[in-house]
């Protein structure tokens, strides 16, 4: 196991300086070059930061790493709301959270050694997660599709809610239900993507359709409104009798509703539409969109609490938290039971 003393010998600085740099002592006056040399050496030697049990700090420094670009966030407020919740709750506690760190802007993995914990927003490859874990073992994943035995996570509850929506559509007589979803790419630390995983809502839809002996009507693409528009048109061309759409996000649903109107179909009357996210705009659409509030504020708050516990060694077990959502009935699907 690599020690502070070994890193000190490699970098020709004192052990106390190495310790203070790797523990992000904000009172330490040291040059950028020295700090970088210490961090780079720690990475080269595969140093893993360890904390003493019950060493509760007065100040906790947490990094938020996101796989999403500013452009993606601008079209999908869900992720932005999670980050804002982390930031706002940090202000109420003795926690410092830097501005969000974006993979697409380039990162130096060694920099993450100085943080007390890392919160990751979105999907990364197992390889990328393990690389970060070697630098800093205190990680919380938010809405990630892969679960790890020894890494904390917090996710919205999607399985039961998706099944509930499909059952309610079926109970109202809908027998030709289509699905429009997004593609989930897994990113490497350099921002590239060669892997993808299926969204859980897509998986549940396919299995549900099979169980009910129904033909699945399925369309996926990038997570923006154009995919919803193209998806609705494509599904209607393949199956003219589609009477309901389950859509994986509000931006996709907005595009789908526009396409339905262009086909002179009235959402909520001719064809039901149910979505996920409950962005602010959804209640002001005409007709207003029935959607699931995934509670991004609770996701952000819970992720911060988990990161704080990890930073302070408050527990020695892994936590997988699931936050339930709330289905908001509006005009595009009214519960007719």
pLDDT value of position 56: 44
**How far apart are the C-alpha atoms of 111 and 98, rounded to whole Å?**
12
On the question of pLDDT at 52 being above 70, the answer is no
Domain membership flag for residue 330: no
Determine what percent of the chain is predicted with pLDDT higher than 70. 95
Which structural domain, as residue segments, surrounds residue 20?
4-155+298-321
Q: Find the CATH number of the domain harbouring 30.
A: 3.40.50.2300
N- to C-terminal Cα separation, the chain: 63
On the question of pLDDT at 301 being above 80, the answer is yes
Residues 121, 197 share a domain: no
Residues 30, 143 share a domain: yes
DSSP 333: B
As a whole number, mean pLDDT of residues 171-195 equals 92
pLDDT-derived band at 36 (thresholds 50, 70, 90) equals confident
Q: Residue 166's Cα: distance from chain center in Å?
A: 24
Number of domains in the chain: 2
As a whole number, mean pLDDT of residues 322-336 equals 92
pLDDT value of position 55: 44
At 190-247, the pLDDT tens digits run: 989 878 888 999 999 999 999 999 999 999 998 889 999 999 999 999 988 999 999 9
Residues 135, 8 share a domain: yes
**How far apart are the C-alpha atoms of 185 and 122, rounded to whole Å?**
9
Average pLDDT, the chain: 90
Domain membership flag for residue 45: yes
On the question of pLDDT at 251 being above 60, the answer is yes
pLDDT value of position 42: 85
Residues 170, 107 share a domain: no
Q: Which of 62, 66, 89, 147 is nearest to 297 (CA)?
A: 89
SS3 141: strand
Domain membership flag for residue 284: yes
On the question of pLDDT at 48 being above 80, the answer is no
On the question of pLDDT at 58 being above 60, the answer is no
Q: How does strand 326-328 pair with strand 290-293?
A: antiparallel
pLDDT value of position 1: 73
For the entire predicted model, the pTM comes to 0.80
Residue 199's φ and ψ, nearest 5 degrees, are -65, 140
Residues 304, 189 share a domain: no
Domain membership flag for residue 333: no
Q: Residue 81's Cα: distance from chain center in Å?
A: 11
**How far apart are the C-alpha atoms of 100 and 103, rounded to whole Å?**
10
Residues 108, 144 share a domain: yes
pLDDT value of position 26: 58
As a whole number, mean pLDDT of residues 183-196 equals 88
Residues 286, 170 share a domain: yes
Residues 237, 165 share a domain: yes
pLDDT-derived band at 6 (thresholds 50, 70, 90) equals confident
Residues 191, 139 share a domain: no
Which has the minimum average pLDDT: 24-28, 124-128, 145-149? 24-28
Taking CA 235 as the corner, what is the angle to CA 232 and CA 236, rounded to the nearest 5 degrees? 85
As a whole number, mean pLDDT of residues 18-30 equals 73
Q: Considering just the CA atoms, what is the radius of gyration of the chain in Å?
A: 23
On the question of pLDDT at 282 being above 80, the answer is yes
**How far apart are the C-alpha atoms of 236 and 247, rounded to whole Å?**
14
As a whole number, mean pLDDT of residues 90-99 equals 82
Domain membership flag for residue 249: yes
SS3 62: strand
Q: Which of 259, 277, 294 is the last residue of a domain?
A: 294
pLDDT value of position 75: 72
Domain membership flag for residue 327: no
On the question of pLDDT at 337 being above 70, the answer is no
CB 38 within 8 A of CB 22: yes
Beta partners for residue 156, in sequence order: 323
CB 119 within 8 A of CB 86: yes
Beta partners for residue 267, in sequence order: 271
């Amino acid at each position: 196991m690599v020690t502070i003393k070994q890193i000190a010998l490699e970098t020709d600085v004192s052990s106390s300086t190495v310790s203070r740099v790797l523990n992000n002592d904000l009172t330490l006056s040291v040059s950028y070059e020295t700090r970088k040399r210490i961090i780079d050496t720690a990475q080269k030697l595969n140093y893993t930061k360890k904390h003493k049990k019950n060493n509760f700090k007065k100040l906790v420094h947490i990094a938020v790493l996101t796989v999403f670009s500013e452009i993606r966030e601008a079209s999908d407020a869900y992720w932005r709301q999670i980050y804002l919740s982390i930031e706002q709750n940090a202000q109420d506690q003795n926690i410092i959270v830097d501005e969000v760190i974006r993979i697409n802007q380039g990162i130096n993995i060694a920099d993450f050694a100085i943080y007390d914990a890392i919160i990751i927003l979105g999907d990364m490859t197992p390889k990328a997660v393990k690389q970060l874990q070697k630098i800093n073992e205190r990680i919380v994943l938010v809405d990630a599709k892969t679960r790890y035995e020894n890494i904390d996570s917090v996710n919205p509850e999607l399985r039961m809610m998706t099944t509930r929506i499909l059952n309610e559509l079926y109970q109202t007589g809908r027998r030709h239900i289509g699905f429009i979803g997004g593609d989930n790419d897994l990113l490497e630390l350099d921002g590239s993507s060669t892997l993808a995983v299926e969204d859980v809502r897509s998986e549940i839809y396919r299995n549900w359709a099979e169980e009910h002996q129904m033909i699945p009507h399925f369309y996926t693409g990038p997570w923006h409104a154009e995919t919803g528009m193209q998806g609705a048109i494509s599904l209607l061309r393949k199956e003219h009798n589609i009477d309901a759409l389950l859509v994986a996000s509000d931006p996709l649903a907005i595009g789908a509703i526009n396409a339905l109107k262009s086909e002179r179909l009235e959402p909520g009357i001719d064809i039901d539409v149910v979505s996920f996210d409950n962005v602010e705009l959804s209640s002001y659409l005409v007709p207003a969109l029935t959607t699931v509030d995934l509670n991004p504020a609770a996701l952000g708050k819970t992720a911060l609490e988990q990161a704080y516990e990890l930073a302070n060694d408050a527990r020695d077990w892994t936590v997988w938290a699931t936050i339930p959502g709330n289905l908001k009935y509006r005009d595009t699907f009214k519960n007719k039971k």
